[in-house]
Amino acid sequence: MQRDAALDAVFTPVRTPTTFEETVERLGTAIRVGLLAPGSRLPAERELARELGISRSTLRQALTTLVQSGHLVSMRGRSGGTFVAEKPPLAEEAAGADVLLGEAASAILDNRVAVEAGAVLLACERAEREDLERLEDLVERMAKADDFEDYRRADIRFHIGVAEAARSPHLVTQMTEVQGRMSELIAQIAHPEQVLTHSNAQHRRLVRLLRKQEAASAVALMREHIEGTEHILAGLLPAPPD
């Protein structure tokens, strides 16, 4: 694959701790803006993992996500490999996405950081056993969800449940509002199984940290969780029409 400076920037090391999500963003954005053209072949897995500075298992997760979302196609055999789909999901397939991109989306995501971090901090101090058991039940519900709608309903209830565990009615109201706005953004993208599995593993870890009242680690994990969502949205949200 011949490269110019812009394409070279796609294949530079990815930072931690959101390597999986940032890899999805990096490749998804390159597809969306045309740096990776339809039908073009990605470098071999070993080479690509080396260039991005990530493990091959993390790379496989990211590539599987982009295959599931329709951005990439995986072909087997001697002439196989991973190729950009001939018709990846771009702007014309996402009516209304232009309203939610740019500053509006950034404002929603910034507000989410403030609300979620505050809820986690207070939940570490105030959560009772019943709160934690309810959160654990929701994690299991997400793990067993048959489709994205079931998963998302439990996901929303989980985040509102963290606010409820903070014993702050105002935070519950704010969390409900921000989850509604997040749903508008999330509705614009595909929902690959790899992304949901990774996200729910973070939910599970968060409940353990809440139970141990490890506030600093819990807030850091929630920030990582939110940042991961930001990367996924940036990688999979279609660009607005010209």
What does the pLDDT look like over 180-197, one tens digit per residue?
Answer: 999 988 988 889 999 999
- pLDDT attached to residue 97: 38
pLDDT at 157: 96
Confidence bin at 170 (pLDDT 50/70/90): very high
Least confidently predicted of 11-15, 41-45, 66-70, 159-163: 11-15
d(Cα 161, Cα 138) in Å, to the nearest integer? 9
pTM tops 0.85: no
Check whether residue 215 and residue 157 sit in a common domain: yes
Establish if 210 belongs to a structural domain: yes
Please indicate, yes or no, whether residues 75 and 191 belong to a single structural domain of this protein. Answer: no
Specify whether 79 is located in the same domain as 153: no
On whether both 221 and 135 belong to a single domain, the answer is: yes
Output the average pLDDT for the chain: 88
Q: Which H/E stretch holds residue 21?
A: helix 19-32
More confident residue, 214 or 235: 214
Provide mean pLDDT across the span 128-133.
98
- Residue with more model confidence, 4 or 175: 175
- Select from 69, 88, 107 the last residue of a domain: 88
Within this chain, do residues 108 and 21 fall inside the same structural domain, yes or no?
no
Domain that holds residue 71: 5-88
Question: In the 8-state DSSP scheme, what is residue 91?
Answer: G
Beta bridge partners, 75, equal 81
For the cut 70, the answer to whether the pLDDT of residue 210 exceeds it is yes
CB 131 within 8 A of CB 164: yes
Whose CA is closest to 82, among 68, 94, 95? 68
Q: Are residues 38 and 102 in the same domain?
A: no
Q: Answer whether residue 67 shows pLDDT above 90.
A: yes
Q: What total number of domains does the chain contain? A: 2
129 with 51, same domain? no
Torsions phi, psi of 100, nearest 5? -100, -5
- Label residue 100 by pLDDT band (50, 70, 90): very low
Query: Within its chain, how far is the Cα of 132 from the centroid?
Result: 24
User: Which CATH number is 80's domain given?
Assistant: 1.10.10.10
Residue 39 pLDDT > 80, yes or no?
yes
Domain edge (last residue) among 45, 63, 88: 88
Indicate whether 241 belongs to any domain: no
